[in-house]
Amino acid sequence: MDGQIFHSVAHDKTQIEKRGDLLITRGLPVKSAKLGMSGICDVVEFHKSEEGVSLASYEGLWQPYPVEYKKGLPKLNEADEMQLCGQAICLEEMLLCRIPGGSLFYGENRRRETVEFTEELRGKVYDMAKEMHVLWDKGYTPRVKPQKGCNACSLKEIIEYIVYYNGECFSIAGRGDRLC
């Protein structure tokens, strides 16, 4: 529940702030045909820049800079960085621009971490998207591997309810695949 409250401000689409050469949008829907994905960015900052893009109702050019809010602390894997890079790839496709980096904001330590969208990170995002689509097309849901971080997940209650509904273990993909 804490994660939902934490994200409620980040996803408030009614809030668009302009602070000098900075425009802040929240809850921005994004999609990419190349990745075959869509989602919602917590926050996208647009910094006034000569390398930016035109935005309706705002003079000048604006460089997009995605910011993803996370309730806890940085993870040991690259999941957060890949999510943020995926959002940037969606924005790039939608706005026809290049986004060199973004930030992850962690609520527990209240710090931003800058993420550079390297070719290596972009490649991992494309590879993961391709793998996800292969699994989806096969109708296969990978087994869940519970980890320490599962207890802090904002989706834990939903996943447990669906996966362990009526004492039986089913996929969260809604296909009814038995997992255990």
Q: DSSP secondary structure string, 51-82?
A: EEEEETTEEEEEEEEEEEEESS---SSSHHHH
Cα–Cα distance for residue pair 9/1, rounded to 1 Å = 14
Place of tokens 């993909």: 173
Cα–Cα distance for residue pair 140/175, rounded to 1 Å = 9
Predicted local distance difference test score (pLDDT) of residue 179? 44
Q: Determine what percent of the chain falls in helix, strand and coil, rounding each to the nearest 5.
A: 35, 35, 30
Question: Could you say which residues of the chain have pLDDT below 70?
Answer: 1-14, 144-145, 149, 152, 154-180
Of 64, 53, 55, give the one whose Cα is nearest residue 89: 64
Q: pLDDT tens-digit profile of 77-129?
A: 899 999 999 999 999 999 999 999 999 999 989 999 999 999 999 999 999 99
Cβ(87)–Cβ(60) below 8 Å: no
Record the pTM: 0.78
Question: Looking at the DSSP assignment, which residues form a beta bridge with residue 29?
Answer: 40
Of 131, 120, 121, give the one whose Cα is nearest residue 35: 131
Main-chain phi, psi angles of 146, to 5 degrees: -55, 135
